[in-house]
Amino acid sequence: MNEGIDLASIIKDQGIKLGSLLQEKDILVKDLSADMTVKIDLKLVSKKLQSTKDGKKFILLTLADKSGVLRAIDWSFPQEYDKNLRIGQIIRVSGHTVMFENRLQLNIFKEQGSLEVLDETQIYQEKFIEKSSKDPQEMIQYIKNAIDKIKTPGIKKLLESFFVHDNSFIKKFTELPAGMTVHHAYKNGLLEHTCTVLKISIDMCSIYKGIIDEDIMIAGAILHDIGKIHEYSICPHGIEKTDNGELIGHIVMGCSMIYEKARSIEELDKKTLEHIVHIVASHHGEIEYGSPVIPKTIEAQLLHFCDNMDSKVSQFKSCIDNSLKSSADSNWTEYDKSLGRRLMFNKEFFAGGTI
């Protein structure tokens, strides 16, 4: 789809029905405006069965793709939809768009078949999974450049065993997200997050020069989330957590991966290896946040701060970005459960694409 074409204006001016102009997979929420007849594929984010004062039932659906969020309402089959629809499903829905309470809303048609659940073969994955705005090859090269500067032979060989000699690892690490919803929940998200943590860690090495082991700090930054290649997977309708991700988690799996690679590295002494593993094991900072142990070295504590900083900034960014995608005219975001607050932001500042 051409970025420079104002699709909504063309459709309204020419009186074209959107569903007849484009295939369902091509239509995005951002292309919609009021007074359109549309058939569109969207992901079910939430559903709520409600009743009017006189007892008439209706269902409110929150639907989304990577470009934005759309509210939909159905008066014809509310109880059927409430019973049969599951959060996370991709549905093809037909209706008419209106403005309601200063927000775009889709009124679902009354006819049977106006809403159908798609199977995986019908889903256009690119419509629902965002990817990093940064070049993956440039990011992976940034990590390799940092590895080249490592002075400790054992640490350098450990890092190279992952990021130079293991093509299967590199492919997964480059493509996968860093989370499902909390932060960097998009393609290349794990790589982007790691690069940012690495950059912050390099700055920390400069600020605290002489009191931290720089090679160990950099190794911890690069390796802290490697277990996530086994924690998440990308499927047609989005990101899923694997069985091992649920049962074991990326911290334990990451530590296991490091021990496995270290077996064949004679130059890596036991003390250095255990320090790196400790950084990975403690990088969530507190036991209640998933770390089996709290940071007990300066490097481990600093790495936790670097990781937490990037995670929190990403959450703030995502929360603001979601508000920008919606049609709500407010400088406040919706309440964010993971952050436990609403955020205030300058809509004019971010509207120019800064975020």
Q: Which residues pair with 65 in a beta bridge?
A: 68
pLDDT at 355 (0 to 100): 40
Q: Which of 78, 49, 88 is nearest to 180 (CA)?
A: 88
Confidence at residue 25, expressed as pLDDT on a 0 to 100 scale: 61
- Concatenated DSSP letters for 40-67? EEEEEEEEEEEE-TTS-EEEEEEEEETT
Confidence of residue 290 (pLDDT cuts 50, 70, 90): confident
Measured distance CA(346)–CA(330) in Å, rounded: 9
Tens of pLDDT, residues 105-135: 999 999 999 999 998 888 887 788 888 889 9
Closest residue by Cα to residue 194 from 168, 222, 161: 222
Handedness of CA 145, 151, 155, 158 (dihedral sign): positive
DSSP 182-201: SS--SBTHHHHHHHHHHHHH
Tokens 């142990």 label which residue? 293
Q: Which residue has the higher pLDDT, 13 or 194?
A: 194
Statement: residue 352 has pLDDT above 70: no
pLDDT digits (tens, 9 = 90+) for 272-286: 999 999 999 999 999
pLDDT at 204 over 80: yes
- Examine the pLDDT at 229 and tell me if it is beyond 70: yes
Give the chain's end-to-end CA distance (angstroms, integer): 22
In sign, the C-alpha dihedral spanning 337, 339, 344, 350 is negative
* pLDDT band at 199; cut points 50, 70, 90: very high
Q: Does position 188 have pLDDT exceeding 70, yes or no? A: yes
Q: Please give the single-letter amino acid code of residue 35.
A: D
User: How far is 254 from 229, CA to CA, in rounded Å?
Assistant: 9
The rounded distance, in Å, linking the Cα atoms of 267 and 155 is: 8
Asked whether this chain's domains 7-127 and 136-316 adopt the same fold, the reply is: no
How many CB atoms neighbour CB 46 within 10 A? 12
Q: Is the pLDDT of residue 265 over 60?
A: yes
**What are the structure tokens assigned to 355, written together?**
């975020």
Which has the closest alpha carbon to 281: 265, 269, 268, 299? 299
Q: Is 323 helix (H, G, I), strand (E, B) or coil?
A: helix
Fold of 7-127: OB fold (Dihydrolipoamide Acetyltransferase, E2P) (2.40.50)
Kindly list the domain boundaries of the chain, sorted by start residue. Answer: 7-127, 136-316
Residues sharing a CB contact under 8 Å with residue 350, sequence separation 6 or more, in sequence order? 320, 324
At 157 the pLDDT is 98
Express each pLDDT in 332-351 by its tens digit: 888 877 788 888 888 777 76
CATH architecture of 136-316: Orthogonal Bundle (1.10)
Indicate whether 214 pLDDT > 70. yes
**pLDDT at site 351:** 64
Enter the DSSP assignment of 242.
Answer: -
Amino acid type, 196: T
The alpha-helical segments, DSSP class H, found in the chain are 7-14, 18-21, 78-84, 136-148, 153-163, 167-175, 189-207, 214-223, 243-247, 250-262, 270-282, 298-325, 347-351
> Which pLDDT score, from 0 to 100, does residue 124 have?
82
Burial 253-292 (b: 16+ CB within 10 A, else e): bbbebbeebbeebeebeeebbebbbbbbbbbbbeeeeebe
C-alpha dihedral, 190 to 188 to 138 to 213, nearest 10°? 0
Range with lowest mean pLDDT among 176-185, 212-221, 256-265: 176-185
Confidence of residue 253 (pLDDT cuts 50, 70, 90): very high
Of the ranges 13-17, 154-158, 164-168, 233-237, which one carries the lowest mean pLDDT score? Answer: 13-17
Smallest Cα–Cα separation from 135: which of 186, 196, 197, 191?
191
Q: What is the pLDDT of residue 101?
A: 85
pLDDT at 34 exceeding the cut of 60: yes
